[in-house]
Amino acid sequence: MDSSHNKKLYLETWGCQMNVHDSEKASHILEGLGYEQTSDPGAADLVLLNTCMVREKAERKVYSRIGNIRNAAGRRIIGVMGCVAQAEAERVFERSPDVRLVVGTQSIGKLPELVAQLESGFHRAIDVRLSKDADFVELAPEKRRAGVVAFITITEGCDKFCSYCIVPFTRGRERSRPASSIVAEAKALASRGVKEVHLLGQNVNSYGLSGRRTSKTKDNDSEWTTFADLLDRVASESGLSRIKFTTSYPKDFTADIVNVIENHTNLCEWIHLPAQSGSDRILRMMRRGYTRRDYLDRISYIKQSTRDISITGDFIIGFPGETEDDFAQSLELAAEVEYDGLYIFNYSPRPHTPAAAFADTVPDSIKAERFARMQELQRRIQSRRYSRYLGMVVEVLVEGESARSGQDLTGHTRCQKVVNFKGGRAAVGDIVNIRVTELRANSLYGEQV
Ligand code: SF4
């Protein structure tokens, strides 16, 4: 590698917010090794793809993307991190011989050693170890890029083993980060001008419940609380204006979480609570650990709140054995809950998971038809739900310019709706009041008041 120029890093991120946050950590570690980021893979010395394999399509796309980059690549190092790296390990090298670096989901902190191996002449470097005691890679707040919204990891991994999901295999057993370290990070971010923090985990509600020890803090059990207590602490001690959290898991979602939200104005009115199916038979086959009734009980805690909390969710369409009647129950559930937003996914089998061996698969044509029906239902619900905002004044955190929308600025409401509006006196980082003047399918438009 040529040492006469600054080394360049091209980092591409796929998948969930956990991956976005992992990319942030990787780029900071690599900056410490002299890499600066470029948006041009052709100019990079190190190309890193932070990958997702929650769905089959995402995994296939990763390999074709490696192929494109390889065509453009000269002497540069191509590396794969994230879930594909973890699950495929050495097979990544076999499937894409130009890849020289494979970094598992718990190995981001090993990047300096791995890159040093490659720079010293090794052809390949890999670390995909998983440990139930692995430490969290924490990002010093002063090292973060200034921004108004930041992520904080509170749990990593998952112990639920839903029958269709690859996450427990790619992210390892569930671990909760000590509460004091989360609160300290939240405070430090607030003091650096961050306005909104998202507490992240595969299952934030399982915080502190299982697999909770990290090797650093093994002896101190008081370092963990319930999720509701953690929210209470972050809300009262951090000084942040807005706190959001995702993803919530229905089985572990307790009424005290809603009570805590009611006690703190900086806890925002948004809960993402994936149902995945409305049929008890399918929920059992998915091994979700709750029934439709249990799920609706959680929804009623949220709807009975004194705060107007937005609910978003996920459904999987075409799980093996899903009949027309099972699907009809999913439609009914979606209609009963009236989500403000819904992520709908077609089921695809994932390696290592029990559901991949289930018989009675649903043909793609039926999945596509059910998907369209669910989407149409949600479109109607969402347009009705959004209409309540017309003329209303909503609080928006200004996050950036909004060139494509024809407005000046864009941001999110407390309930996670996108709002585009004419700038007026507002600047990035301000929290402003916007009167909603127009509704679109997935966003609101308005003017500053
Ligand atoms: S709760 Fe289920 S779907 Fe969510 S990450 Fe864990 S195993 Fe996957």
Query: Which protein residues touch ligand 1 with a CB less than 6 Å away?
Result: 158, 160-162, 165, 167-168, 202-203, 249
Instruction: Output the CA 196–ligand 1 centroid distance in Å.
Output: 26
pLDDT at 360: 79
Where do the domains of the chain lie? 7-127, 141-387, 393-448
pLDDT at 57: 77
**How many C-beta atoms surround the C-beta of residue 420 within 10 A?**
21
Side-chain half-sphere CA neighbours of 209 within 13 A: 16
Q: Which atom in ligand 1 lies closest to the alpha carbon of residue 166? A: 8
pLDDT at 300: 97
Q: Which of 155, 167, 272, 285 to mutate to test the pocket of ligand 1 (most atoms within 8 A of CB)?
A: 167
Q: pLDDT tens, 165-199?
A: 999 998 888 989 999 999 999 999 999 999 999 99
pLDDT at 389: 96
Which of the residues in the chain have pLDDT under 50?
1-4, 211, 213, 215-219
Instruction: Output the CA 159–ligand 1 centroid distance in Å.
Output: 8
Instruction: Output the CA 112–ligand 1 centroid distance in Å.
Output: 30
CATH of 393-448, one of 2.30.42.10, 2.40.50.140, 1.20.140.10, 1.10.3720.10: 2.40.50.140
- Return the axis-axis angle of helices 364-387 and 324-337, rounded to nearest 10°: 10
Cα-to-chain-centroid distance, residue 42: 28
User: What are the CA-CA distances from residue 401 to residues 263, 298, 360, 405 (Å)?
Assistant: 33, 37, 48, 9
Assigned CATH topology for domain 141-387: pyruvate-formate lyase- activating enzyme (3.80.30)
Instruction: Output the CA 241–ligand 1 centroid distance in Å.
Output: 30
Q: Cα 250–252–254 angle (5° rounding)? A: 95
Nearest CA to ligand 1 atom 1: 160
pLDDT at 5: 59
CA distance 365 to 371: 10
According to CATH, the superfamily of the domain at 7-127 is Methylthiotransferase, N-terminal domain (3.40.50.12160)
pLDDT at 319: 98
Q: Is the peptide bond before 361 cis (omega within 30 degrees of 0)?
A: no
CA distance 7 to 139: 22
Neighbouring-strand partners of residue 197: 150, 243
CA distance 58 to 284: 26
Nearest CA to ligand 1 atom 8: 165
Q: Which atom in ligand 1 lies closest to the alpha carbon of residue 159? A: 6
Side-chain half-sphere CA neighbours of 73 within 13 A: 21
Phi, psi (rounded to 5 degrees) for 83:
-70, -35
CA distance 234 to 178: 12
User: DSSP string covering 378-423, please?
Assistant: HHHHHHHHHHTTTT-EEEEEEEEE-GGGTSSEEEEETT--EEEE--
Dihedral, CA atoms, 251, 255, 261, 267, nearest 10 degrees?
Answer: 0
